[in-house]
Amino acid sequence: MPASPPTPILLVETLSAVFSDENGDLHALQDVTFSIQPQEFVCLLGPSGSGKSTLLRILAGLLPPTAGKFTFAGSNHLRIGMVFQQANLMPWRNVLENIMLPLELQGVLPDQARRRAQEMIELVNLQGFENAWPRDLSGGMAQRVALARALVHDPNLLLLDEPFGSLDALTRERMWTELSSIWQKRRKTVLMVTHSISEALFLADRVLVLTQRPGHICLDLKVDLPRPRTDDMRYSPHFGRLARKLKDAIG
């Protein structure tokens, strides 16, 4: 008996987004269709202006789609964890309090919230910085706090909007390794927007390529590199071939 195909956790069907302003209509997305399986790490790759952030904002409920629909399955209670391009921490809350925020909004008791936030601190290796103020953190540390905050309430879907875009190259590559190992421990379903080919290949199970505006998906590439991924893989011929395919698709 053949195994039945797993139900996707997220199903996006012919989604379109049009913004109207005085210059006329701007077609950001057109007929975007794809699905994500539970525990899959999917990267959304595209040039700037391809509407990839718009897509993420629609899925996060920050923008309404103009046409089409998206459905989340498997859970009545959809919890989203989101990491933005900037760490987006509340400057009046210390590191631990920032991580506790999603739990407080859910009404989790303070003691329990504190304990779970503390676990996240350990997950992202920020022990000793619990009481630090956001303004005293480096860019990489702030982004790790943001990641911990996005994970603390055990979301069904993690949306990452170019989370390492504002970091320097070395920090960014260190964050790839960390995110990769966190993902292996937690196995969250992840949808991550990026414009970096190596970032997408290093992290994802699948890469979706969005075209220039109006954005639609022109390539759905399975990344069959073994896990855990290492730095060395990035210089292997196979990595190069995959990168080439993505590059050609972006055009």
Partner 1 sequence: MDLNPFRRFALSSRPPERRRSHWTVLISLGLALLAWEGTAHLAGLPAFILPAPAEVAARFVKSLSDGTLLRHTAATLLEIVLGLLVGTLFAIVIGYLIAKSRRFERLIAPYLVATQAIPIVAIAPLIVIWFGPGMFSKVLICSLIVFFPVLINTVVGVRAVPRSLHDLMRSLRATRLQILRYLEIPAALPIFLGGLRIGATLAVIGAVVGELVGSKQGLGFLINAARGQYDTALVFVAVFTLITLAITLYGVVAVLEAKFLKWQETPHP
Nearer to partner 1, 64 or 251 (CB): 64
**Nearest distance from residue 83's CB to partner 1, in Å?**
10
Per CB under 8 A, 235 contacts partner 1? no
Nearer to partner 1, 98 or 211 (CB): 98
Per CB under 8 A, 102 contacts partner 1? yes
Binders of partner 1 among residues 107 to 146 (CB under 8 A) are: 133, 135-136
What would the two tokens of residue 220 be? Answer: 């759905």
Among 2, 5, 64, 91, binds partner 1 (CB under 8 A): 91
Nearer to partner 1, 12 or 250 (CB): 12
Nearer to partner 1, 141 or 197 (CB): 141
The pairing of strands 217-222 and 206-210 is antiparallel
Angle at 30 between CA 25 and CA 35, to 5 degrees: 150
Distance CA 201, CA 135 (A): 32
What would the two tokens of residue 193 be? Answer: 């927007």
Burial of 90 by CB count in 10 Å (0-12 exposed, 13-18 middle, 19+ buried)? exposed
**Nearest distance from residue 149's CB to partner 1, in Å?**
9
Nearer to partner 1, 89 or 246 (CB): 89
Which amino acid does the sequence have at 190? Answer: V
**Nearest distance from residue 206's CB to partner 1, in Å?**
23
Residues pairing with 217 in the sheet: 210
Residues pairing with 100 in the sheet: none
Among 105, 127, 222, 235, binds partner 1 (CB under 8 A): 105
Per CB under 8 A, 166 contacts partner 1? no
Among 28, 96, 123, 159, binds partner 1 (CB under 8 A): 159
Distance CA 101, CA 172 (A): 25
Distance CA 113, CA 153 (A): 9
Residues in the chain: 251
Among 11, 18, 26, 101, binds partner 1 (CB under 8 A): 101
Q: Which residues of 33-62 are buried (b: 16+ CB within 10 A; e: fewer)?
A: ebbbebebbbbbbbeeebbbbbbbbbbbee
Distance CA 230, CA 227 (A): 8
Give contact residues for partner 1 (rule: CB under 8 A): 57, 60-62, 80, 82, 84, 86, 88, 90-94, 101-102, 104-105, 133, 135-136, 153, 159
